[in-house]
């Protein structure tokens, strides 16, 4: 899983299906959503880095995580270096901003403009899209 590289990671749908849990596959490769308050990182408080479950790309640091009481892990900032890409999402009769991994296009969640200072952003991310590396 080349952890330190910015190289694109591309796999076939079948390769992703075999590499990921059924829930992670559904969320990351087909823009699914885990049930609110069900993910392992909702109440997670350890210090470290959250990575993309699909390719290992570093996405969020624990010091940007906050309790948004929305049912999903929330961060006010992604790591620098364009590690996440924002896309307009008009599914489900709403206009939202989808967040995907810049390296493998995994669906991570959505970003909203109702977060805390200093950014005012709330990256609302599915736990199954993430792995965690303690520091």
Catalytically active residues, by annotation: 124
Instruction: Characterize the bridge pairing of strands 65-66 and 58-61.
Output: unpaired
User: CA-to-CA distance for 135 and 112, rounded, in angstroms?
Assistant: 28
Report which of 113, 89, 6, 87 is spatially closest to residue 52, judged by C-alpha positions: 6
Report which of 113, 107, 101, 122 is spatially closest to residue 57, judged by C-alpha positions: 101
Report which of 95, 92, 75 is spatially closest to residue 33, judged by C-alpha positions: 92
């Amino acid at each position: 899983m080349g952890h330190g590289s910015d190289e694109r990671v591309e796999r076939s749908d079948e390769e992703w299906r075999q590499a990921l849990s059924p829930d992670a596959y559904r969320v990351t490769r087909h823009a699914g959503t885990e049930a609110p308050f069900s993910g392992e990182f909702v109440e997670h408080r350890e210090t470290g880095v959250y990575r993309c479950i699909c390719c290992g790309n570093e996405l969020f640091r624990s010091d940007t995580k906050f309790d948004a009481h929305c049912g999903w892990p929330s961060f006010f900032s992604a790591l620098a270096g364009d590690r996440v890409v924002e896309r307009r999402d008009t599914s489900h009769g709403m206009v939202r901003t989808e967040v995907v991994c810049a390296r493998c296009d995994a669906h991570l969640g959505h970003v909203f403009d109702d977060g805390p200072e200093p950014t005012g952003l709330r990256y609302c991310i599915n736990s199954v899209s993430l792995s965690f590396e303690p520091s």
